[in-house]
A and B are shown apart, each in its own frame.
Chain A
Amino acid sequence: MPDPAAEPPVLFCLHLLGGSAETWDRVAERLAGRLRCVAIDLPGFGAAADLPGCGVAAMADHVAARIAALAPARWRLAGHSMGAKVALALARRAEDGAPDLAGFSGLVLVAGSPPSPEPMAEAARAAMIAWIDAGPDVRRAEADRFIRRNTGAPLAADAQARAVADVLRANPEAWKAWLGDGAREDWSCRIGVLRAPALVLSGTEDADLGPPAQVALTLPHLARGRHVTLPGAGHLLPIERPAAVADLIAGHAAEAPAAVDPGPPLPEAYRALIASERVNSRLREVLLARAAPDDPAHQPVALDPVALAILRAVLARVLPQAFDGGGRIDLAARIEARLARGGGDGWRFATLPPDAEAYARALATLDAAARERHGAPFLALDAAAQDGLLASVAAGSAAVETRDGLGAEGLKLWFEDLRADAVRTYLAHPAALARLGYGGIGAGGDDVDRMVGFTQVGIDAPEPWEPAATGERAR
């Protein structure tokens, strides 16, 4: 029996629209000895061009069968463009415990098509659907142009020829099925937030699926996603930059998964106060529960993962955390969990929809405003640009025309609600109370007949046990 530990881990590789298993050849060569690449022809492409076209789920079935047949102990999954969307669907199945996908341990998304409908100009889509059925000369010329349009710099002649040949080899029905349906399928809620370590690669010259699209549409689905951009590269990264792609994949596979943020540490003295008899048991229990680390793969219910990521970005600007010892409270996940529970505060502004809907629509409007003002999604903006947008929201001047958006006045009221929600969530955390030097938690333990309360209530009269502030004010 070969020692499984001595075998290089397997990397299943899925290709782009019009590609094939061969798209990965040069990456696989470069990875030899480090990872064993098993590139798979998706239905309708490469050696599987005889199969009819199909959607994401059927492609995933096809790949799952191949993985199950090989059944390596540990394996990773790489997807390029179209293949990335299939890889995301498979990762969700694996994380949900599909027995035929046991051993899944990481994801590589290369110029990936996102879980949501792929951003693509409708005219370009229509043209691609049209020429695939044209005569041989037109097909060859258009395929050649298709490959050229998707590279940052011209490919070497042989690489260009191989890529064009793959396109021409594709089953036109599969080509059209993907453009017409597969690329439009919305998997964002089904995929949710994946827990696996994930490497996201994008080329700066990739028009539709470059860095801003990856940041805005794919990374929100990855709890442990790392994004690397390749300057000057286009969409065909495994062909354009096989060495760089291989090295990044190998490095990612070798590195330890990023540690979970343990949250802000509780100062020792505050932890001791919480443990003391001055604090009642019920309060002690909830304070410690709130101090527990947030799940980086929090699955949103009231919002979609992209909206949750925008909310997280907004909250980083609204209430930036600066705890001694680092650590961050995931205010967005905690607020989203409350929205999902439906536990309100007893009222809402009459001009706003119910809370969860107001959040979803406000975040979508904010993103639309970012695209209108800066030509980029909110998540791809730098802090100053995000602050600028939020300032206009606060001022009630962030009007943007969208179908389900909130108007400027609605956004302003929502932003007021958001600020209050942020503070209430932040100050519920004992590390935040410790920063304030807040002693109220110590007003009395379980025995209500012998509660200590406060004997000092005057100015500059702290009781000996009361904590001192450690925040900005105390410095």
Chain B
Amino acid sequence: MNLDAMRRHAPDEAVDAVVIGTGAGGAPLLARLAAAGLRVVALEAGPNFEAARFGFDETLADEIYWTEERLSGGSTPEAFGGNNSGTGVGGSTLHWGAFTPRADRRDLRLHGESGMGLDWPIGHDELVPFYERVEAFIGVSGPQAYPWDPARRYPLPPVARNAPARVMAKACADLGLCATDAPAAVVSRDFPQEGGGTRHACIHCGYCHQGCRNGAKTSMDVTYLPLAVARGAEIRPDSRVHGLEQDRAGRITAVLYRRDGRDHRLRCGTVFLCAGAVETPRLLLHLGLANGSGQVGRNYMGHVATQVWGSFPGEMRMNRGYPSSLISEDMVRPGDADFAGGYLIQSLGVEPLTWGASVARGRGLWGAALRDYLDGYNHVAGIGINGETLPCDTNVLTLSDETDALGMRKAQVSFGYGRNEQSLNAHATRTLKALWEAAGASDIWVLERVAHTIGTCRMGRDGDEAVVTPFGQSFEVPNLWICDGSTFPSSLAANPALTIMALSLRSAEAFLGGLGRRPG
């Protein structure tokens, strides 16, 4: 993004707040704090990209993924990098799929409903106004009437349904499932962006996950960050935080980061740690900070994100169009469930390298069978879920003995499905296969997959059991706030980014409303 006219603070100038990370957690609150007149600096580990230079190429897109190595273990090891972890000004929103369902009301009360999982310490009603503000600001396209939430209105008409969405729509109709156009943070028509210029309408290029070139897809660098910069915030790219200085009372007094091979010290009043559910706990564990509860790194969650693939007689050319343009929320609470929670269903179009690598890994094909199956790319379409994962003691992020270039120990994540996830997955797999059979697919196969990074610094009401308060403030270090997917007490069935943005605004306003004041 263009930072030419950005306000720049002197290197030794103390600021009111430092925001670590410029993704869905950091960017909205950065804009909000700047608008309130605070001196704020965001430190982004990755570079500042010029979106027009993104290449429409899956290999070139490696530049927007967090490719520093993480160790993935457990019974269902999760892929990181391009699967869920971004880098650069805009963070993971540079590559996210822009699929923006809201959390289902029941998912925040899962324990109350089922006796399993954990209830969120905040109510759905508190989130709705923030959802509405975020959706209006970033430009979410969606159906006129949302079947599972009649009160909801989307600011923009839906994006076009691509071929996978069309076969899924027909299959859902045949099987009596309700499906509709997906809520997508992709502007379906030219959109005047508050704080920025006009964002062009989506051109259906299909490269959401490789970086949107014309700003049609919401990423933080075309929405909240230009607004933040317009309100006086500074963004420092290529700035990797590795330390936090504290005074005797435990308050953070400065952030230490490395830029261009040199270490810098940025004095500040408050720190907002928004580095995502892997790097946030990794930094805290590295520093031994804010972990009196012992909860930092605990209850790591990835969504159950199984996909079913099939070949169709007609040409799908699934690379075209918004990749996930159809949704069904009918399975958020299936009537015949033998598990707590539920899952969303979405149609899937995937670019060839990502899809082909999934074929090679997940279907296990090799030899001429692999080559010949890849040849059929233009006839393939997919359908997938995003399903609830319960917090679990054995799913943890720890520090490996191996270190990175900065001498920080690498993150090691151990993740595995429990009985609830297995039952949910079995149900979903049956549903997806039935849909694809109804759609007329042949050569149907199942790809087991885990998506997103959630948990590890849960919010709660009690400092003995949670890392941060329901507003994201550390129980132990009063001028430390966390705002990203790490604070989720449970995974929710919904994809996390919209909720992260809503919580980011909520944290900013709680801070501005007085919680940020120095005690005493």
Taking CB atoms, residues of chain B closer than 8 Å to A473 are 372, 375-376, 378-379
User: Given the known A-B contacts A282-B53, A346-B66, A437-B378, are A427 and B352 also in contact in the complex, defined by CB atoms under 8 Å?
Assistant: yes
B160: CB under 8 A from chain A? yes
Taking CB atoms, residues of chain A closer than 8 Å to B57 are: 283, 286-287, 428, 441
Assess whether B48 is interfacial by the CB under 8 Å rule.
no
Q: Are B353 and A424 in contact (CB under 8 A)?
A: yes
A317 touches B77 (CB 8 A): no
Stretch of A114-122, A167-175, A305-313, A458-466 at the chain-chain interface: A458-466
Q: Residues of B contacting A460 with CB < 8 Å?
A: 314-315
B378 lies within 8 A of A438 (CB): yes
CA distance A451 to B202 in the complex (A): 10
Q: Does A138 count as interface, using CB distance less than 8 angstroms?
A: no
**Chain A residue at minimum C-beta to C-beta distance from B200:** A449
What is the number of residues of chain B that contact chain A, defined by CB distance less than 8 Å?
75
Scan A166-206; emit 1 where CB is below 8 A from any B CB, else 0: 00000000000000000000000000000000000000000
Given A280-B55, A459-B163, check contact A443 B81 (CB 8 Å): no
**Residues of chain B with a CB closer than 8 A to A374's CB:** none
Give the residues from 43 to 62 in chain B that come closer than 8 angstroms, CB to CB, to chain A.
Answer: 51-53, 55-60, 62
B73-110 vs A, CB cutoff 8 Å, 1 = contact: the mask equals 10001111111010000000000000000000000000
| Residue A416 CB within 8 A of the other chain | yes
Interface 9-mer from A41-49, A102-110, A127-135, A347-355: A347-355
| Interface pair B352/A449, CB less than 8 Å apart | no
Partner of A440, one of B73, B205, B214, B400: B205
Distance (whole angstroms) from the CB of A426 to the closest CB of chain B? 8
Would you give the shortest CB distance from B434 to chain A, in whole angstroms?
20
Give the residue name and chain of the B residue nearest to A287 (CB): B57
Q: Which of B67, B205, B370 contacts A345 (CB 8 A)?
A: B67
Is the CB–CB distance between A444 and B203 below 8 Å?
yes
B161 adjacent to chain A (CB < 8 Å) = yes
Q: Does A448 contact B (CB under 8 A)?
A: yes
- Contact A457-B161, Cβ < 8 Å, known A349-B77, A423-B353: yes
A317–B366 alpha-carbon span in the complex (Å): 8
Query: Which of A343, A351, A458 has the most chain B CB atoms closer than 10 A to its own CB?
Result: A458
Whether B56 and A423, one on each chain, are in contact in the complex, defined by CB atoms closer than 8 angstroms, is no
With beta carbons under 8 angstroms apart, the residue of B59, B204, B205, B378 that contacts A436 is B378
A438-B378, A439-B319 known; A344-B69 Cβ under 8 A: yes
CB–CB A346/B73 < 8 A: no
Q: How long is the Cα–Cα vector from A452 to B205 in the complex, in angstroms?
A: 9
Task: Mark contacts of B370-397 with chain A using CB atoms, 8 A cut-off: 1 yes-contact digit, 0 otherwise.
Answer: 1110111111000000000000000000
B68 within 8 A of A: yes
B77 shortest CB reach to chain A, Å: 6
Q: Does A57 contact B (CB under 8 A)?
A: no
Q: Are B356 and A458 in contact (CB under 8 A)?
A: no
Q: B351 an interface residue at 8 Å Cβ cutoff?
A: yes
Contacts of A420 in B (CB 8 A): 357, 360-361
A321 in the interface (beta carbon within 8 A): yes
Q: Are A433 and B361 in contact (CB under 8 A)?
A: no
- Give the distance in Å from the alpha carbon of A426 to the alpha carbon of B56 in the complex: 17
Interface residues of A in 216-234 (CB under 8 A from B): none
**CB pair A454 B69 closer than 8 Å:** no
Q: Bound complex: CA of A137 vs CA of B62, how far in Å?
A: 71
A350 to B364, CA, bound (A): 20
Is A50 part of the binding interface, using a Cβ–Cβ cutoff of 8 Å? no
| CB-contacts of B343-357 with A (<8 A) | 351-353, 356-357
Using Cβ atoms and an 8 Å threshold, which residues of chain B touch A350? 71-73, 77, 400, 412, 414
Q: Are A474 and B67 in contact (CB under 8 A)?
A: no
Q: Is there a chain B Cβ closer than 8 Å to A35's Cβ?
A: no
Any chain B CB within 8 A of the CB of A368?
A: no
Q: Which residues of B contact A280 (CB under 8 A)?
A: 55-56, 213
Which residues of chain B are within 8 angstroms of A433 by Cβ–Cβ distance? 352
Given contacts A320-B368, A453-B205, contact A443 B71 (CB under 8 A): no
> Across the interface, do A459 and B315 meet the contact criterion of CB distance under 8 Å?
yes
The CA of A469 and the CA of B57, in the complex, are separated in Å by: 19
Residue B321 interfacial (CB < 8 Å) = yes
Shortest C-beta distance, B165 to chain A (Å), equals 9
Residues of A within 8 A of B315 (CB): 459-462
Q: In the complex, are the beta carbons of B166 and A283 less than 8 A apart?
A: no
Please give, as numbers and ranges, the residues of chain B lying within 8 Å of A354 by CB-CB distance: 69
Q: Which residues of A contact B314 (CB under 8 A)?
A: 459-460
Tell me the B residues contacting A by CB distance below 8 Å.
51-53, 55-60, 62, 65-73, 77-83, 85, 160-163, 166-167, 200, 202-207, 213-214, 312, 314-317, 319-321, 351-353, 356-357, 359-361, 364-368, 370-372, 374-379, 400, 412, 414
Since A348-B70, A349-B77 are in contact, a sample of 11 more A-B pairs with Cβ atoms closer than 8 Å, ordered by chain A residue number, is A322-B368, A347-B69, A350-B414, A423-B353, A424-B58, A437-B377, A440-B56, A443-B56, A448-B200, A469-B375, A471-B372
The 5 closest A-B pairs by CB, nearest first: A453-B203, A346-B81, A471-B375, A350-B73, A457-B321
Could you list 27 A-B pairs, sorted by A, with CB under 8 Å?
A280-B56, A282-B53, A343-B62, A345-B62, A345-B65, A346-B68, A346-B80, A347-B70, A347-B79, A349-B77, A350-B71, A350-B72, A419-B361, A420-B360, A422-B360, A424-B357, A432-B374, A433-B352, A443-B207, A451-B213, A453-B205, A455-B204, A456-B320, A458-B163, A459-B315, A473-B372, A473-B379
